[in-house]
Chains A and B, each alone.
Chain A
Amino acid sequence: MDTLATYALRLGDDSLIAGQRLGEWCGHAPALEVDLSLANVALDQIGQATHFLALAGEIEGQGRDADKLAFHRDVMDFTNCLLVEQPNGDFAQTIARLFLFSHYQELVFAALATSKDAHFAAIAAKAVKEVAYHATLASDWVVRLGDGTEESRARMVAGLDWMWRFVDELFVMDEVDTAALAAGVGIDKAALRGAWDQRIDAVLADANLARPAARRPVLGGRVGRHSEHLGHILSEMQFLQRAYPGATW
């Protein structure tokens, strides 16, 4: 795949795996309203993934559409960041992941909306309005759990602690990112780190939570080195199209 196709693929894979993971809560959330919220967020993410993966397929020009890319790639071909494939754990751990990821996505899409490539810009301009809601939802819960009971606070702390080592990967600029940036299409993710830190710190302060201690970052998702968790996501997500290729509703 060429650089821009890979660039679109990464954005699509992030949203796809985030949405598929979050969708596991459907029917299991602690309250009906939360169930609706998480399912709606997952739906937004999968919608964004559809647009980015379709774009990746178009740029690639090998006839692969969004479904083909979602359902017929093996685990090492996935380019999502490691954060989004992390297990849901308890509700607080899921909220921790959504909190860190949706603030990142909001900054990414706001910047990408000014891309000189009209396709990337259009998807991002639409998505940024959606992820603003996700970030608000997740932040509200971080405060509610972090500043809640002893039990909810302990769980929120543990959830953030689990996810924290996957944060640095979000802002890494490798050769694909650098080339996309140089082409005027991609964005400078490293430059978003300061704004992201500010947003996260402000919410953590509201929640009376300390920022988790710095950990050795875990990297590799962008080049297909994933945790064992992604394979399990795919086995469920891809089962039908693998067992019955080309099946339609």
Chain B
Amino acid sequence: MQTMRAILADVPDPEIPAVSIIDLGIVREINEARVVITPTYSGCPATFAIEQMIRAALDAGGFADVAIETTLAPAWSTDWISDEGREKLRAYGIAPPPKGASASALKNAQAAECPRCGSSNTEEISRFGSTPCKALWRCKACAEPFDRFKCH
């Protein structure tokens, strides 16, 4: 039988399926009684979908009696995205957020590294992108637009 952690590591984020909910750092506690998750953004529409996917995965793995709970504190931060998760984001075409920069990077956003060509010659097009957690950027070296995971 798979461990609960291994089961959860196979549950993808519904909006960014390249990373799992473990990679994203939204699973805060795993034990025999419960799984505690925290939303990325207050209004993240994926929160409900994530809960349903976890339920289905736990049920299928034989953990039907494990409860799923949601907590808001401490608030999720992009610092909780694992190193592996960051690499998966990059490979998927999303520039990961710099680590340890969740607060300071808000006002003076450092240039993002283009996930396609690696250039730092990039510019922000829009601070809000296709989902609450992403901003829209453009690479001036390879001319490709790309998503950047917002520091949070």
Contacts and interface: CB of A to CB of B under 8 A. Distances in A.
A36 B126 contact: yes
Interface stretch (B6-14, B27-35, B41-49): B41-49
Contact of B42 (A50, A118, A121): A50
B127 A50 contact: no
A126 interface: yes
B130 A43 contact: no
Given A122-B73, A130-B41, A37 B127 contact: yes
Given A33-B136, A36-B126, A136-B107, A47 B44 contact: yes
Contact of A125 (B45, B74, B129, B130): B74
A40 B132 contact: yes
A163 B124 CA distance: 30
Contacts, number: 74
Contacts of A121: 73
Among the interface residues A36, A44, A51, A136, which one has the most CB atoms of the partner chain B within 10 A? A36
Given A33-B125, A118-B73, A137-B127, A126 B42 contact: yes
Interface residues of B, number: 25
Contacts of A34: 126
A47 B46 CA distance: 12
B107 to A, nearest CB: 7
A95 B74 CA distance: 31
Given A44-B132, A122-B72, A136 B127 contact: yes
Interface in A120-169: 121-123, 125-127, 129-130, 132-133, 136-137
Contact of A133 (B44, B71, B72, B106): B106
A47 B130 CA distance: 17
B43 A45 contact: yes
B72 A51 contact: yes
A102 interface: no
A129 B128 contact: no
Given A46-B43, A122-B73, 5 more contacts: A36-B126, A44-B42, A126-B42, A126-B73, A137-B128
A-B complex: 7 closest residue pairs judged by Cβ atoms: A47-B43, A47-B42, A33-B126, A122-B73, A37-B128, A122-B72, A40-B128
27 contacts: A19-B43, A33-B126, A34-B126, A36-B129, A36-B136, A37-B126, A37-B127, A39-B128, A40-B129, A43-B41, A43-B43, A47-B41, A47-B43, A48-B43, A51-B42, A51-B72, A121-B73, A125-B74, A126-B73, A126-B76, A127-B42, A129-B102, A129-B152, A130-B42, A136-B106, A136-B127, A137-B127
